[in-house]
Every structure is written in C-alpha cells, then in structure tokens.
A and B are shown apart, each in its own frame.
Chain A
C-alpha cells in the first residue's frame, strides 16, 4: 500500500492553471521521481501535497488517511516531511541545532518545564542532541555539528536539510531538487543519500532536474508538462517515451527519436 498518494490534484492561480489532474503515489522504500520542464508544476504540486497551498481539487492521503487541506504542521505530525528547492535552513542556528529542531515533534514540550530547565528537559536535550548527531553522521556532516549552518558549503546545506527532514522520523519525504546547484561529487553524495533514506523504509518523492540522478535513483518516474501528467513508468520506459523526448527536446527531436 502506498504511504503517500495524491489523486487528481488541481490548482489554479487567478485563472492560470498550474497543476491539472495529477496523481501519484509512493510506497515505503520506494523512490518516485517527478520530472518535467520548468513551469511544469512540480514545486506547486509539492506545495499542495505538503499543505502550503490549498488545492482547488483532488485528495491527498497519508498512510491511508485523508489529509487533504490539512496545514503543514499537522501533516508533519502524521509523518510527512520535505525539503525546499531554495533551501530553508535556520541560518542563525548551528548545524546540529537545525537537526534538533527537526526532532520537535518527537520531544515532550512544556513551556513551564523549559523555563525552569527541569532535569527531564536536560535529559531530553541530551537525547535530542544524540539523535541529531546520528543523523549528521548519516549525511556525513558529523564533524560540523557546532558550526553555524550559514558557514557550510552549498552541497553540505542540501544534506543538512535532508537530515533535518529525517529527524522527525517521517514515513514520506518530499525532496524538492536536492541536487540543484551541486557539483558532480556532491550530486553523487545526494544520490547515495536518497537511496539510503529509501532503504530505511521511507517513501521518497523526488523533484529533480538532474536526469542522470533521476535515472539512477528512481524506482518510478512521473513526467509532467504544463501542469498535466505526460507519462509514467520505470526510468527506462520514460526515457524511451516519444512524448517525453518531444517535451524535453522539442517536437523535431521527438519525431527523430521515435523513428530511430
């Protein structure tokens, strides 16, 4: 059964249809990639699924439960996590603290206990710090926990955001262009990481422009064009689909390739 599923999602902004009738689902341990040219509606789709935008139509289910229209903090509670194309890190905090914030939902939270810094708060802090440190090691940032997040290089920031997203122990993870702006070495690191996350049993939905990364890491690929689904299948099937080639390289190339 799929952990996360979106059915027939549609959203328009002042008459401009951004997403129109898109469905997808991902099972535990599966990597589903959503690709498409710029403006295909990929990030908009993520913003709908993660509760930042309210969809005009369609339903989102998480672990079988209908969560359509729920705010992001509720979705997080129910096991959804995500990263952002334009990195949304807590730049005034250290690397480790960023991941510790990700543990928020796993912590007991009481203003009075926090103000008094009760022994239980201190004990929990140690547990949270240890869990965050484990995740930093997992994304190969184990040595940089005390650095301000703002001092990390770009590829490390991408990995840090993934570590923070994993800290809430999500069932489904939406990754919005995790390799954007990364060099070849950093991209390879991201690829290894995505696979390792899926192997932990997380349902991963990936939006990405780097086709080599998508082809290597995905179990299934969904192609969007102008907000509508164009094709879906295994990486090989999608790569050979004439409609996909046409959308990416123009109709001429599409015809040429179809004849080949």
Chain B
C-alpha cells in the first residue's frame, strides 16, 4: 500500500516543481518560458480528456484557444468587462461553440472527425483574421493588462505564479475525473463504443461532454497567454498551434494527465534549447519528435512508468 495515491503524488510533485523551479532559474527570462509551459500544459490536459480518455481526435483545438485569447482582448475593450470576467466569458463561449459544433461533428469517427474539427479551427482563424475592424486582422491586437482588486499583473514572475496556479487547478480537476462515473464512461467508450452503449452509457453525450470540457480548458489557457503577452495574433488559433497541442498530448502519453504536462514542457522548451543549433533548429525538433515516438511509443510518461514498474501489474494512475 503506497503512502500516497498516484493522484495525490502527481499533485504534490507538480506543486513542488512549481514552487521550487524558480530557485534554479539563472535569469528572469526563464519565468516566461516556464509560464508558457504551464499555459500550454493546461490546454494539453484539457485536450487529453478528449483524446486520451475518450479517444476522440480534435485537430482544431487551437480555435478554442483563440476564442479565449480574443475574449480577453475584445471584451474589456468593447464591453468594458474586467479581464477576469472576459476570461470567464471566453470559456463560456468556447464551451457553447463546442457544444453546438460537437453535437453533429462527434457523430463522425477517426479521420472524418479529425477533418471536421480541423475545419472548425480553420474557420475560427479565418474569422479572427478577416474581421480586422474588431481583431486587428493578421497583425493581431493589444490586450489590456489584468487587474485584480487593484493589483496589476505585469512581470513574467507574476505570470509564472498565476499560470502555475491555474495549472494546479486544471490538473486537480482532470485527475479527479479519472475514477468517477464520467471518467469511467469516457475511458469505456474509448475501448468499445458498442459495449459502452449496451452498458447504458450515452456515448454521444459523453463525447460531447469531453469536447466541451477540453474546449473550456483551451479557452482559459488562451486567455492566460493573451493576458501575459499583452498581445495576440490569429496564429494562436491556427492549424499549426492545433497540431502542436495534439503533439504535446501524444508525446507525453495519451490518457496520462502528467504526460500532457511533460509533453507541453518538452514542446515548449525544446525549441528554446535548440536555438543554439540555429538554422538546424526545426530539423532537430522534428527528428527528436520522431525519436520520441519510435522509442517511447506510448508517450513519455506511460512508457517510462511501464519500464520503471517492470512486470508489476499496471494501476490506473495520473
């Protein structure tokens, strides 16, 4: 009997890393990189609920990220909402859009679902690019700084703690979900839709639930990034960003909450590390992703866990 459940161990470990990491930062720049990791990890954790638990693909997830980002840019400017209210409004909008689009689209499976969600992402990006009167078009727009009770979030260090806190909450919620009726229903329909249905699971409803939850995660992450950067462009909603999010989840390990965080950390920090190779940076990034997938096929976290446990029976873990 372990002292800590895998769930509690994951949470405690993450809290420790967030709390202690600044001690080894050589400069303020690292706060920014780490905050980027936390924000990307938040979006990846949400996407993992859809892809890892429920087994449904979304290639347009950055669309929801973009909705959250533009919500905190537009709502304070045009509706005079405070940024935190704009963040909630964006999350609500992303959730409603996911619900409306997900209802017909989630009937599709596999490649067809992938293409349909890809279309959704492209659509959001086109709207953000073309409605330049509101969004500043392809050049993007400025975002007002976050102010909470007179306190103004400005520096990278502040954003490190805000995004770290958001990641802790997001991780806690996602870990909570695993061993509940909802979590079990999602994992079950991933393995066998037909068995899930005859067991009484409303498969269409649960897929939609996962899609909406994942959209809300992405939107909150998008809002946080926009508020931290103070600037936003339609690229945040673009296809490349969608693919990046999917890559984080797959590299880290489908179905693993910790994996989504590790995947985000790898994909955000690797390009920073590889800048020393200058023009070979992108080539090496691509090669490393291939190497990861070849040697750690189940994703970094599940593969290493299996290796560490040897032949011990697997348990459900974070």
Contact = CB atoms under 8 A, between A and B. Distances in A.
Contact of A148 (B176, B177, B213, B313): B313
B184 interface: yes
Interface secondary structure of B, over-half rule: helix
Interface stretch (B85-93, B112-120, B192-200): B192-200
B195 A84 contact: yes
A113 B200 CA distance: 20
B199 A92 contact: no
Contact of B199 (A76, A116, A117, A151): A76
Contacts of B34: none
B198 A100 contact: no
A182 interface: no
Contact of A115 (B177, B191, B196): B177
Which of B180, B185, B188, B191 has the largest number of chain A CB atoms within 10 A?
A: B180
A89 interface: yes
Given A101-B188, A104-B181, A73 B316 contact: no
B173 interface: yes
29 contacts: A72-B194, A72-B197, A73-B198, A73-B201, A73-B202, A73-B203, A76-B197, A77-B200, A80-B198, A84-B195, A88-B195, A89-B195, A90-B192, A92-B187, A93-B187, A101-B184, A101-B201, A104-B184, A104-B188, A104-B201, A105-B199, A105-B200, A115-B177, A117-B176, A117-B180, A121-B180, A148-B313, A151-B313, A164-B199
A76 B180 contact: no
Contacts of B181: 104, 107-109, 114, 121, 124, 128
B173 A84 contact: no
A228 interface: no
A111 B194 contact: no
A90 B198 CA distance: 13
A146 interface: yes
Interface of B: 173, 176-177, 179-185, 187-188, 190-192, 194-203, 209, 213, 255, 313-316
A93 B313 CA distance: 12
A71 interface: yes
A104 B191 contact: no
B176 A115 contact: yes
A54 B293 CA distance: 42
A197 to B, nearest CB: 16
B192 A89 contact: yes
B183 to A, nearest CB: 7
Nearest to A94: B316
B313 A104 contact: no
Interface in A72-112: 72-73, 75-77, 80-82, 84, 88-94, 97, 100-102, 104-105, 107-109, 111
A124 B183 CA distance: 14
Given A93-B188, A116-B173, A147-B313, A50 B198 contact: yes
A71 B313 CA distance: 36
A128 B180 CA distance: 10
Contacts of A105: 199-200
A52 interface: yes
A168 interface: yes
Contacts of A168: 199-200
Contacts of B202: 73
Contacts of B182: 109, 111, 114-115
A125 interface: yes
Contacts of B209: 111
